[in-house]
Structure 1
Amino acid sequence: MKYFHISHTDLDGYTCQLIAKEFFPHGTYINANYGLEVKLSLDYVANKIEELQGENILIIISDLNLNYDEAKWLDDKIKELSNTNNIKLQLLDHHISGQKCADEFEWYYLDISRSATKIVYDYFNTHYIFTEKTQKWLAPLVNAVNAVDIWLDNEIYNFEFGKVCMHMMKYCNEINQFLFADESRNFRHYLLKEASNYIPFENGHIRLDNDFHTIKKNYLKITNQDDTLDNLVATKLVNMLGEKKEYLTIHYGSHKGLLTYTLGSISIVANEFLKHNSDFDFFADISKRGVASFRAKGNLDVSKLASKLANGGGHKNAAGCKFEDFKETIYYDDVKNFFQKKLNLLG
């Protein structure tokens, strides 16, 4: 069976996918926030299914309420795609704003009394059944996420533990979710599974809060040697960027550069990458709002480049600018094409 799972970008959304991975570890997982990201994610899944023939396909959408136009488009699209594949579509959500869609479409399940995590857990436990070993660690984690997500502060321990988990998901942005979507998601799932080990202990939420920094470092280490979190992140990202550098390469005249999207705070990573990749002259990163940051190592004056591109400026080896005509996207190829065209216009 081919499995596709679109979920939200918060604790509830990521835990939904952690649950599903117990049965579909090799499925296609996508995380989206509301608005453009949801529509593009639906398009992506539809396009992937169009490439298939004669497959059994399960699509789960969790912790996201679609507006009516999105739901109608998806319903029509799935009916069309069902001509060549056996498709089951199931949306599992708890946001009251989805009531109109829930009334209209049979695949749209809505229950405002439970978190999406609890709904997804019950769905899979009904249709597939967890092993006793899995239930032992997963059920308590589900209860903690459920308590904080729908604010059951009377469940004191679950609620407090859930708060720490929510904090963990908010502050684990070391791996970029656009460039390294699967690795970023795996990082979050690792943190949640590690967190589940603390639930049985008295004051487990406090112990987890104390250990959060170390747990992150343990995942980010490439070797057994310890270092600061910033240095561990830089080393891991430089290795990951190195594996994708051909795909991320851009050109400005005779100069070779690396382009990233929404990486943010690039100083350490960019300088480390340039130090270990002598054939690259500059490093550029663009934010969702079109703000570009540049780093170089002396072979190219990026302050002049930023000025030519969008009236930006800065220093010879560190500069920035803002593209007013940049359009937010979830696709790196769109960003690369946009930026390379800008460079090509400079000659």
Structure 2
Amino acid sequence: MKNKIIHHLSHIDLDGYSCQLVMRYTPYKTFNYNANYGAEVRQKLEMILENITKDKKAAIILITDLNLTSEESRWLNGEVYKMNDKKMDITITLLDHHGSGEASANKYKWYFLDTQRCATKITYDYAKENFDLDEPEWMNKFVNVVNAVDLWKQEEVENFEYGKVCMRLVTETRELNKIMFAEIDNNYKLSLLLEATKYINEENAAILLDEKIHSIKKDFFKEDKNDTLDNLSTKFIVKLLGDARAEKTIYYKGYRGYLSYGVGNTSIVGNGFLLAYPEYDFIVDVSYRGAMSLRANNKVSVAQISKEWSNGGGHPNAAGGRIIGFKEQYRYDRVKKQIEQVINDKEAVAGDLEYKKEEV
């Protein structure tokens, strides 16, 4: 089994990320994915199946802290069955504690449900038995911290209070974007939790960690000199955007643009990107609900682009609008496909109008 690659899908809260932190200490090559409930689960599972198919290697699909609906379980079980029927070697293991998954747990052997332990504790116990866990000194204590806060065991005062701070360490960590920068964002959150384990046995540990959060975050982004968290994270994000130029470049009427999704803070990040990469004429950030924020640096009027794309408007270097009919996505490739369809439609209309004008 050690030759198998693990594709690990987990929830986006403390319990979910802590499951992935535990699995870091197994000898398996692992790819992490994260999702909230709803359509995101299905899209991330589709991504996992696509990656396994491309990789053509034996794999374990590990799902933690997420209960699948009966429909999702039936679909996933069927897809894996079809892949194995083609001589692939794929298994599913689901470790969860939400009672709403009982119907699926009763039907599928791969669905392990235990409502008495948080998912991190289930994963920890399962990994010790099945995944050759190389357990560090702090892990048992940390698992009990997560269990106390996730199951709201207020009577375990020390663990509960420390768990609350760890919970905030994850939920209020929004500097990166889990769709645009999935791997880096996951590593960021796991790195913060790993740093949190250093204070777990200290006196007044919860207070100490609470006071350390800001500096822990800054240390992740810091490359050389110190600066504010905003400036450090902006510089970091601009570099990430730049590194992904090949995938995220778009074109409109001969102008070169950059498409980001859900990054936000366009005035700072967008302008920072345009200064760092002057070969780009504009940048557009689309929110999860289809709102656009566009920035330029005197090379093209984004007010005009926004007007043509969505009847929006603004200033030549700063504009906004909303894509009508935009469907929220949890994969960047599907966002880009939607926006490129908008661009193609607008360019086709413009081309048709020009043709008719010449015809007259």
- TM-score bucket (shorter structure): over 0.9
Q: Which residue of 1 aligns with 2:339?
A: 339
**What secondary structure is seen at the aligned counterpart in 1 of 2:199?**
coil
Q: Distance in 2 between matches of 1:237 and 1:33?
A: 23
Return the offset for 1:339.
Answer: 1.4
Q: Distance in 2 between matches of 1:345 and 1:324?
A: 13
Task: Return 231-240 or 307-316, whichever deviates more.
Answer: 307-316
Please say if 1:120 is aligned against 2:128.
Answer: no
Return the offset for 1:31.
Answer: 0.5
Q: Which residue of 1 aligns with 2:26?
A: 23
Q: How does 1:204-243 map to 2 (within 5 A)?
A: 204-223=205-224, 225-243=225-243
Q: Which residue of 2 aligns with 1:76?
A: 78
Q: Which residue of 2 aligns with 1:6?
A: 9
- AA matched with 1:30: Y
- AA matched with 1:41: K
Q: Distance in 1 between matches of 2:131 and 2:72?
A: 29
Return the offset for 1:107.
Answer: 0.9
The TM-score, its normalising length taken from structure 2, stands at 0.92
Task: Return 110-119 or 70-79, whichever deviates more.
Answer: 70-79
Superposed CA RMSD in Å reads 1.4
Q: Aligned residues, how many?
A: 343
Q: Which residue of 2 aligns with 1:57?
A: 59
Rate the CA distance shift 1:25–1:324 in 2: closer, same or farther, 3 A.
Answer: farther
Q: Which residue of 2 aligns with 1:292?
A: 292
Which consecutive residues of structure 2, in runs of 5 or more, have no partner in the other structure? 348-360
Q: Which residue of 2 aligns with 1:149?
A: 150
Q: Distance in 2 between matches of 1:126 and 1:108?
A: 17
Q: How does 1:59-208 map to 2 (within 5 A)?
A: 59-83=61-85, 84-131=87-134, 134-208=135-209
Q: Distance in 1 between matches of 2:27 and 2:284?
A: 36
Return the offset for 1:24.
Answer: 4.9
1:136-173 per-residue CA deviation (whole Å, 9 max, x = no partner) reads: 12221111111111101100010010100110101111
Report percent identity of matched pairs. 40
Q: Distance in 2 between matches of 1:129 and 1:249?
A: 43
Q: Indicate if the aligned counterparts of 2:295 and 2:302 stay in contact, CA closer than 8 A.
A: yes
**What secondary structure is seen at the aligned counterpart in 2 of 1:135?**
coil
**What secondary structure is seen at the aligned counterpart in 1 of 2:174?**
coil
Return the offset for 1:277.
Answer: 1.1
**What secondary structure is seen at the aligned counterpart in 1 of 2:6?**
strand
1:107-143 per-residue CA deviation (whole Å, 9 max, x = no partner) reads: 1111111100110011001123433xx3312221111
1:151-200 per-residue CA deviation (whole Å, 9 max, x = no partner) reads: 01100010010100110101111111111100000000000000000111
The TM-score, its normalising length taken from structure 1, stands at 0.95
- AA matched with 1:145: V
Q: Distance in 2 between matches of 1:280 and 1:48?
A: 31
Q: Indicate if the aligned counterparts of 2:6 and 2:28 stay in contact, CA closer than 8 A.
A: no
Which consecutive residues of structure 1, in runs of 5 or more, have no partner in the other structure? none
Q: Distance in 2 between matches of 1:59 and 1:339?
A: 31
Q: Indicate if the aligned counterparts of 1:3 and 1:24 stay in contact, CA closer than 8 A.
A: no
Q: Indicate if the aligned counterparts of 1:49 and 1:81 stay in contact, CA closer than 8 A.
A: no
